[in-house]
Amino acid sequence: MILPGSVTPAGFSGTESIVGADPHAVAIGDDLWVYPTEGGGGGDRLSSWTTRDLQHWRFRGVILRRDEIGWIDDDGALRHHLWAPALIAANGRYYLFYSVGPQNPTPSRIGVAVADRPQGPFIDSGRPLLTGDAGFEAIDPMAYRDPASGHFYLYAGGSAGSRLRIYRLADDLLSIAGEVATEQPPHFTEGAFMHERGGVYYLSYSHGAWNSAGYTVHYATSASPVGPWRYRGVLLQSDADHQGPGHHSFVRDPASGDWLIVYHRWPTRDKSAPLQGERHIAVERVRYASDGAILPITMTDAGRL
C-alpha cells in the first residue's frame, strides 16, 4: 500500500488503496473527492484524493500543513495533530474544517481554512473556530447546508465526553452564530455525519473505541437536521476480514447517482485490541427501504463493490 504524503502517484487501484482514516467524501463535477486523516500517524498534514470509478485513485496533493496554522501552538501543548477534515462548497469557495488535538493536556480545537479550488491551497482563517473543554472534545467537524432552510450547521464532538453538539454557522462559515440544543442520540461516540434524502435527515456516527473491533457505525433519523432523533440501528460492524469500521461519510456517486458510504477499516482478521497496522479507506453502495430505512451494509473488497 502507498502511504499518502510519502509519494505523489498519478494513480493506483484498489478498494483499499488509500491508507488513512476519517474520510470525508464530496462529489464535485465528475469526480469523487476524498479528504482523509493521513496514514502513517504523523498528523502533520492533510491531503486530497479523487476517483471516477471507485477503483482508480489519484493523489491530488497536500492541502494544509500543520506549520501553516499560526495559532496551533497558542495553547502551549508540546504536540499537535491534524485529523478528521471535512469540506463544504459555499459562497463560490471551498471551506475545510479540521480537528487539532490531542484533547489532553489542553482542550482540542476545530479550525477552518478556505480555498478557491477543492485541491487548495487552503489558507487558515487565523483563529480556532471552536475550542473544547473538560467535558467536550471539539473534534470531528462536519459542516452541512440544510437544503430546506439554507442554514449552515456544524456538527462536532468526540470520545472525551462522547457528546454531540450542533452549531449554526454564520453565512461566512468562519464563525459560529450560536449553538442549537439537541438530544444525544443513542450510542454516540464521535464522527457525526448528516445527509438528507427525500425529506428525511440521517444522522450517522461512530460508537466505541476507534482502535477496537467493537468500533461501529450507527444512525438515527429526523424530520429536521437538528433532531429529535429516531434511533434506527447499526450500519457497519466488524466481520471476519475487516475490523473497526467507522468515521464515515455519505455521498452521491457522480457517475451513477447511487448513494455511497465512504469509511475506514482495519484489514485484519485479528480482533485483539488495540488493533494493529494502518486503517484503510473503503467504499460501499447504500440502498434504502421504502420506509426510508438504510438496508444492511455488507463490507466488500476490490472487484465486488
Three-class HEC string of 44-77: CEEEEEEECCCCEEEEEEEEEEHHHCCCCCCCCC
**Per-residue pLDDT, 201:** 98
Residue 91 has what DSSP assignment? Answer: T
pLDDT at 42: 75
Name all domains of the chain by residue range, CATH numbers in brackets: 83-286 (2.115.10.20)
Collect all residues with Cβ–Cβ distance below 8 Å to 208 and sequence separation of at least 6: 189, 214, 215, 216, 244, 246
Choice between 20 and 305, residue whose per-residue pLDDT is larger: 20
Helix (H) or strand (E) holding 88: strand 81-90
Q: Please, which pLDDT band fits residue 13 given cuts at 50, 70 and 90?
A: very low
Q: Please report where in the chains the cell 502511504 appears, as a residue.
A: 3
Nearest-angstrom CA–CA distance, 69 and 66 = 6
Q: Give residue 39's pLDDT band: very low, low, confident or very high (50, 70, 90).
A: confident
- pLDDT of 26 reads 98
Q: What is the pLDDT of residues 222-254, one digit of tens each?
A: 999 999 999 999 999 999 999 999 999 999 999
- Using CA atoms, how far residue 59 sits from 143, 251, 255, in Å, is 24, 19, 19
Confidence of residue 11 (pLDDT cuts 50, 70, 90): very low
Contacts of 231 (CB under 8 A, 6+ apart): 185, 186, 187, 218, 220
Task: Estimate to the nearest angstrom the gap between the alpha carbon of 112 and the chain centroid.
Answer: 14
Pair 208, 214: CB distance under 8 Å: yes
d(CA 203, CA 205): 7
- For 67, list phi and psi in degrees, rounded to 5: -75, 0
C-alpha–C-alpha distance, residues 131 and 139, integer Å: 9
pLDDT at 305: 38
Q: Which three cell numbers stand for residue 288?
A: 434504502
As a whole-number percent, the residues of the chain with pLDDT over 90 amount to 87
pLDDT tens-place string over residues 147-204: 999 999 999 999 888 999 999 999 999 999 999 999 999 999 999 999 999 999 999 9
Please check the confidence at residue 2 and state whether its pLDDT lies above 70: no
Bond into 121 cis (ω within 30): yes
Evaluate if pTM is beyond 0.85.
Answer: yes
- Using left for φ > 0, alpha for ψ between -120 and 50, and beta otherwise, residue 225 falls in alpha
Q: What is the pLDDT of residues 49-100, one digit of tens each?
A: 999 998 889 999 999 999 999 999 999 999 999 999 999 999 999 999 999 9
Contact (CB, 8 A) for 84 and 137: no
pLDDT the model gives residue 191: 98
Rounded Cα–Cα distance for residues 62 and 96 (Å): 13
Q: Model confidence over 107-150: pLDDT tens digits?
A: 999 999 999 999 999 999 999 999 999 889 999 999 999 999 99
The values of phi and psi at residue 68, to 5°, are -95, 0
pLDDT, position 5: 35
Over residues 260-275, mean pLDDT: 96
Q: Quick one: cell of 29? A: 463535477
Q: What is the distance of C-alpha 217 from the center of its chain?
A: 12
| Residue 281 binned pLDDT confidence (cut-offs 50, 70, 90) | very high
